Amino acid sequence: MSTPEAPASIVEIVDLVKTYGADTPNPVYALRGIGFSVPKSGFVAVMGHSGSGKSTLLNLLGCLDRATSGTYRLNGTDVARMSRRELAHFRARTLGFVFQSFQLLPRLTARANVELPLQYRGGIGRAERRRRAEAALARVGLADKFERRPTELSGGQQQRVAIARALVNAPALLLADEPTGNLDTGTGLEIMALLQQLNREGVTIVLVTHEPDIAACARQSIHLRDGRIHKVEAYETPSDAQAELERWKREEAARETAAG
Ligand code: ADP
């Protein structure tokens, strides 16, 4: 029996164009033909000023919108060829999302929030859902918080729950939209250290940010300007978020001592 060959790239984008209102007198050229790829276990930060096309790109990568032209292959599959229904299934199996505002359901416990993607996917029994959700929560350092509701957790802990929820289906690609945007510096670095650890374990990540310090934690950054790729940077030695966190904690302690 032959096994299907694993695709060389998780994301493969060729000449991607997105125009809003193409048939109106004032079309908006949000993406003007961009191309890049993300290898398995890659970690790419997408940067750019407001209006440069980051959200448009993220929506296309997340299969939430379709390109006007060009190709997007996700985990070896050309998404343009899929029906809406197929795409919804494919998205649930292939992608995990993390947002700036966490987007947890407030009435549900951490475990129930993390179980949700497994419920949507269907075909997984209650005990197995529970086991997988607990494993995902343990993986992000929340083994002792299964029963907590979002209001009983700090912002950083809520983002960890959201990351566990994104991981529970073992997605080919984790998409993170400004995941540290609502967090203080120290907590933001903790979340970046977690994403770096997951990336070292093999999780492929695309992260949108406008903060250079956050982007420097990735292996590569893609800078958008006016819907085009303006610059690509590869970080030979990405910034080590854990080391940055420890440095930041020492500095904070020194500031507190100085303040008496
Ligand atoms: P960013 O996330 O970098 O701020 P966006 O992708 O949101 O950039 O926007 C890129 C361009 O596309 C902007 O000019 C924006 O006004 C426009 N745009 C985004 N979404 C829409 C839409 N749904 N309809 C019309 N224009 C849009």
Domains of the chain, residue spans: 41-57+84-259
| Cβ 54 under 6 angstroms from ligand 1 | yes
Distance CA 247, CA 27 (A): 48
Distance from the CA of 22 to the center of ligand 1, in angstroms? 13
pTM for the predicted model, two decimal places: 0.94
CA of 51 to the centre of ligand 1 (A): 6
pLDDT of 1 higher than 50: no
pLDDT tens digits for 87-130? 999 999 999 999 999 999 999 999 999 999 999 888 899 999 99
| Average per-residue pLDDT for the chain | 94
Interacting residues of 48 by C-beta distance below 8 A, sequence separation 6+: 54, 210, 223, 224, 225, 230
Over pLDDT 90: what percentage of the chain?
Answer: 91
CATH of 41-57+84-259, one of 3.30.565.10, 3.40.1130.10, 3.90.76.10, 3.40.50.300: 3.40.50.300
Q: What is the mean pLDDT of residues 190-198?
A: 97
Site to probe by mutation for ligand 1, drawn from 17, 26, 34, 55 as the one with most ligand atoms within 8 Å of Cβ, is: 55
Reported as a single tens digit per residue, the pLDDT across 143-167 is 999 999 999 999 999 999 999 999 9
User: Per-residue DSSP letters for 146-165?
Assistant: TT--GGGS-HHHHHHHHHHH
